[in-house]
Amino acid sequence: MGAFSLELNSDQRDLRDWVHGFAAEVVRPAAAEWDEREETPWPVIREAAKIGLYGFESLATWFADPVGLSLPIATEELFWGDAGIGLSLMGTGLAVAGILASGEPEQLAEWVPECFGDESDPQVAAFCASEPQAGSDVAGYRTRAVYDGATDEWVLNGQKSWATNGGIANVHVVTAVVDPALGARGQAGFVVPPGTRGLSSPAKVRKHGMRASHTADVFLDDVRVPGRCLLGGRERLEARLARAREGQRAGVQGAMATFESTRPVVGAMAVGVARAAHEYALAYAKERQAFGRRIVENQSIAFDLANVRVEIDAARLLVWRAAWMGRNNVPFTAGEGSMCKLKAAEVAVWATERAIQVLGGAGYTRDHPVERMHRDAKLFTIFEGTSEIQRLVVARAISGVQVR
């Protein structure tokens, strides 16, 4: 057995430096503008597609890393640049994860490229799971899917909430109920192809942060999709439902499998924001003069910065562990996916708040980016499962008790 090492290999270092360069040269200079405009930064997406940073090929390459670290490394660097623009680039990955979680090989081949478009015409995709009355409560979903055997089509009706790229997406991946009596076990995933009638999104959500990323409700009114758009196919669905009706283990629920697989990525997003705020505050403290000396020479400031750095590094290590486990099919016996997302999210909120405090009044203004970073960071404790839900997952995993 080889020696244990946490040193990145040459490919991972090259990836980190390449994405960092794009984040520094393209993302950061555009961050404030797109935050103020509250619009999808299509010019940045096109630039990323042009150099191969946004697209199926790059995502597939990152997924192929046997260590599992390439995706969180690239994600951290993008979100170090800016969280709103980072999410506009990475949001499509959640829909792709939904297809990967339940789809058959031919479905992956057909729909994943459609999620991204191409260099000349880049597109985005949306994963539609949460609903107005059911966010983390997956069993509470009400959007229905009914099979029409006469036309070999599924008919979808319902409303989805908080969908990243909802309404502007080329492809929507929708979780819907096919057997209400089975709760979460009676659900399935569907691809809604481009231009499908009945899908609408009247207005986007105006948000506290992540303003460069489009978020919207999605309405499905007699949306008809071909039978081949059922992820996993009808035969697999019927077999899974039959096992569930007999009280047998029916397999992992699609939406939950998607969330669990992407939690280390969300953790990496949070680490990137926390690191950006910490680096900015550290540089400011080394330059800012007060009472005849640099403020970093005061223990209260220096210790604060030291504590933040410790927490960021700890969060990153949890993210890397979960990413490695997920890539190598090591079971999350202690809720390690939720653990890393919980830690990184709360570190991001705390680190950005401390950065504002280090800058004092200046940090509260839009003249400095830590104000925007603080607004962006809060989302990490909410989306893809709140911090409370992550604690619930970890508590159940370590206790074996159905904690409620």
What whole-number distance in Å separates Cα of residue 314 and Cα of residue 350? 14
What whole-number distance in Å separates Cα of residue 308 and Cα of residue 393? 26
Contact assessment for residue 345 and residue 381, using Cβ atoms and an 8 Å cutoff: yes
**CA-angle at 395, arms to 248 and 391, nearest 5°:** 115
Closest CA to 91 of 118, 123, 124: 124
Q: 201 — alpha (psi -120 to 50), left (phi > 0) or beta?
A: beta
Closest CA to 44 of 185, 212, 255, 198: 212
Q: Determine which helix (DSSP H) or strand (DSSP E) holds 378, and give its type and residue range.
A: none
SS3 category, 221: strand
Q: Determine which helix (DSSP H) or strand (DSSP E) holds 223, and give its type and residue range.
A: strand 215-226
238 is catalytic: no
Catalytic residue among 76, 371, 384, 388: 384
Could you list the active site residues? 384
